[in-house]
Amino acid sequence: MTVVRILGSGQFRLDDSDVGHLNELDNAVAAAVAAGDGAAFSRSFGALVAYVRDQGTTVPDGELVTSDHVLPAADTTLEEAREAFSGEGAIPG
């Protein structure tokens, strides 16, 4: 099992067999960020978040488990995603 955290939304368990498609969706997001295409980013990032939520089962509140993958918050903007690639800003502190 693979544990994916969506910031602000908790953790989700996915089958290891889902990870391939997860990476494909993630690459589409990266391409949108590289192109600076806001519409493509909203679409692809929305699909990635929806996939994790739909395919995954929610990790119960009281369970303490480390995540294998971490996604930014569902309402992340293209600008914030760009900061994650430039290595500053998105994770302050």
Partner 1 sequence: MAGLMSRFTTLFKVKANTMLDKAEDPGQTLDYSYQQQLEMLQKVKRGVADVVTAKKRLQLQTAKLEESVVKLDGQARQALAGNREDLARTALERKALIQGQLQGLDTQITALEQQQQNLIDQERRLSAKVESFRTQKEVVKAQYSAAEAQVRIGEATTGLGEEMSDVGLALQRAQDKTEQMQARAAAVNELVDTGAIDDLTAAPGSDLDAQIAALTAGSQVDAEMAKLRAEVGSGTPAAELGQGDAEPAKSEEESK
Short-list 46, 44, 43, 50, CA closest to 14: 50
List binders of partner 1 among 28-57 (CB under 8 A). 29-31, 33-34, 45, 48
CA pair distance 50, 86, nearest whole angstrom? 25
For residue 77, state whether it binds partner 1 (rule: CB under 8 A): no
Q: Give the three-class secondary structure for 40.
A: helix
CB atoms within 10 A of CB 73: 13
Stretch 1-20: interaction string toward partner 1, x if CB under 8 A: ----x-xxxx----------
Residues of this chain that interact with partner 1 (CB under 8 A) are 5, 7-10, 22-23, 26-27, 29-31, 33-34, 45, 48, 61-73, 75, 81, 84-85, 87, 90-93
